[in-house]
């Protein structure tokens, strides 16, 4: 089973790129973030023609998440991350597919920091930790995949000081990610590629894609119940170089 996560950065605008990648890569499950479309405008028909059923939470601005399943019907189990009834940002969706629970998430960016947006990021992280801990306690087969908006270590960002004040690499952001993983989750891509950068994001500015000035922000965390089934992981970098590409590339894993 091949499971991927892809910050699509506007699903309507990048639909041709997405469909080409789906045909070529043939992932069984895909988590999408930053749909940037309303619930009604999500291209469900085009994806269905490509062989993928979907569940999604649309939101016009910069949010929106979706889960796609090839030749399977995702059973929607949750459309919000528990812990804050006043949070109306479309950042989390969860579904059961082929005996696995898939949590698709788009963690807040947190910039500028310090400030309310960074506080929201850390509070969201704590909510995710609490929710994730229940999966670990119940020993369930779960993959938490998405754009975590954290480069966890120095290996996960190109050599630079230009991001030093950015929320993506702040000590508290990295500590929150480390605390989450320490519950027992397997950071799948890093586990199988312990010494390679494995970047998933290259900003549009300052020629960062041609310079390979990237960050690893998109992660797939695998629960202990599934960790022994992990056989492959990677990043489809070439997609970032296409015309009209998202500033992210898909990260993926294969479970035996």
What is the pLDDT at residue 62?
87
What is the pLDDT at residue 61?
87
pTM, whole model, 2 decimals? 0.98
Q: Nearest CA to 177 among 193, 190, 158, 164? A: 190
Cα distance between residue 71 and residue 58, in whole Å = 23
Residues 63-115 have pLDDT tens digits of 999 999 999 999 999 999 999 999 999 999 999 999 999 999 999 999 999 99
Residues 219-239 have pLDDT tens digits of 999 999 999 999 999 999 999
Beta carbons of 68 and 105 less than 8 angstroms apart = no
What are the two backbone dihedrals, phi and then psi, of residue 138, each rounded to the nearest 5 degrees? -90, 0
The CATH class of 2-255 is alpha beta
Cα distance between residue 212 and residue 232, in whole Å = 23
Would you say residue 18 has pLDDT above 90?
yes
Q: Nearest CA to 5 among 212, 202, 218, 152? A: 218
Cα distance between residue 59 and residue 40, in whole Å = 10
Beta carbons of 6 and 237 less than 8 angstroms apart = no
Q: DSSP states of 119-154 as a string?
A: HHHHHHHHHHHHHHHHHHHTT--EEEEEE-----SG
Compute the mean pLDDT over every residue in the chain, rounded to the nearest whole number.
98
91 burial (CB, 10 Å; 0-12 / 13-18 / 19+) is buried
What is the pLDDT at residue 29?
98
Residues 28-62 have pLDDT tens digits of 999 999 999 999 999 999 999 999 999 999 998 88
Cα distance between residue 139 and residue 238, in whole Å = 36
- Secondary structure class of 173 (helix, strand, coil): helix
Q: Nearest CA to 81 among 127, 142, 148? A: 127
What are the two backbone dihedrals, phi and then psi, of residue 69, each rounded to the nearest 5 degrees? -135, 130
Structural tokens at position 218: 């998109």
Structural tokens at position 132: 């994730």
Beta carbons of 93 and 106 less than 8 angstroms apart = no
Beta carbons of 98 and 70 less than 8 angstroms apart = no
Beta carbons of 237 and 209 less than 8 angstroms apart = no
Beta carbons of 242 and 6 less than 8 angstroms apart = no
- Secondary structure class of 39 (helix, strand, coil): coil
């Amino acid at each position: 089973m091949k499971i991927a996560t892809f910050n699509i950065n506007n699903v309507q605008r990048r639909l041709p790129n997405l469909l080409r990648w789906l045909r070529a890569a043939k992932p069984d499950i895909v988590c999408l973030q930053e749909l940037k479309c309303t619930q009604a405008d999500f291209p469900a028909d085009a994806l269905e023609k490509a062989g993928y059923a979907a569940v999604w939470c649309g939101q016009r601005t910069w949010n929106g998440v979706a889960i796609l399943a090839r030749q399977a019907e995702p059973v929607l189990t949750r459309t919000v991350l528990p812990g804050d009834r006043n949070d109306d940002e479309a950042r989390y969706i969860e579904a059961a597919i082929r005996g696995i629970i898939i949590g698709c998430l788009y963690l807040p960016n947190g910039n500028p920091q310090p400030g309310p947006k960074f506080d929201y990021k850390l509070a969201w992280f704590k909510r995710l930790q609490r929710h994730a801990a229940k999966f670990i306690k119940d020993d369930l087969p779960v993959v938490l995949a998405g754009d975590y908006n954290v480069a966890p270590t120095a290996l996960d960002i190109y050599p630079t000081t230009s991001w030093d004040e950015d929320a993506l690499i702040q000590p508290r952001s990295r500590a929150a990610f480390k605390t989450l993983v320490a519950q027992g989750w397997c950071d799948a891509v890093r586990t199988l590629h312990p010494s390679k950068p494995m970047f998933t994001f290259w900003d549009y500015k300052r020629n960062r894609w041609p310079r390979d000035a990237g960050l690893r922000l998109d992660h797939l965390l695998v629960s202990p119940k599934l960790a022994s089934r992990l056989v492959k992981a990677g990043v489809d970098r070439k997609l970032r170089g296409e015309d009209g590409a998202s500033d992210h590339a898909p990260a993926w894993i294969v479970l035996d």
